[in-house]
Amino acid sequence: MERPVHTATVFLQGKMFSVRGGMAIRDVLKHLDLEPDAFLAVRGDLLLTDDIILNPGENLRLIPVISGGSHNPASMHSR
């Protein structure tokens, strides 16, 4: 007999995390200790708002949005 699935899967930068199904995306981000402003949440080709519930067995992809790293950040904002 197959065991019921209670978890959903989150993919982030080549890593995979199992989280409890039935959580809202904002709670998934909190659970993984991630800032909501730093990620997009995507299921298939759909961009999702953070109130959407991630059901058991579903997959969610988190896309980091931060870029533009520099040890001398002011230099490109000047002459």
Partner 1 sequence: MKCRKCNQNAVINMREHKLALCKEHFLTWIPEQTQRSIETYQMFTVEDRILVAVSGGKDSLALWEILNQLGYAADGLYIDLGIESDGGYSSRSRQFAQAFANQRGLALQTVDVRQREGASIQKAAQIARRGSEKTCSVCGLTKRHIMNQTAREGAYDVIVTGHNLDDEAAVLFGNTLNWLSGYLLRQEPVLPATETGFARKAKPLCRLYEREIAAYAFLKEIEYIHDECPYAKGANSIFYKETLNSMETARPGIKLAFYLSFLKAKREGMFASRTNAAREFHICPTCGQPTLNMDECAYCRLWNQVRTVIEEPPRKP
Name the residues that contact partner 1, by CB under 8 A: 35-40, 42, 46-52, 63-79
Kindly tell me which of 8 and 29 has the beta carbon lying closer to partner 1. Answer: 29
Closest distance of CB 17 from partner 1, Å:
18
Closest distance of CB 9 from partner 1, Å:
20
Report the b/e string of 5-43 with b at 16+ CB within 10 A.
eeebbbeeeeeeeebebebebebbbeeeeeeeeebebee
Helix (H) or strand (E) holding 28, with range, is helix 25-31
Kindly tell me which of 32 and 63 has the beta carbon lying closer to partner 1. Answer: 63
Q: Which residue has the tokens 């998934």?
A: 28
Closest distance of CB 7 from partner 1, Å:
24
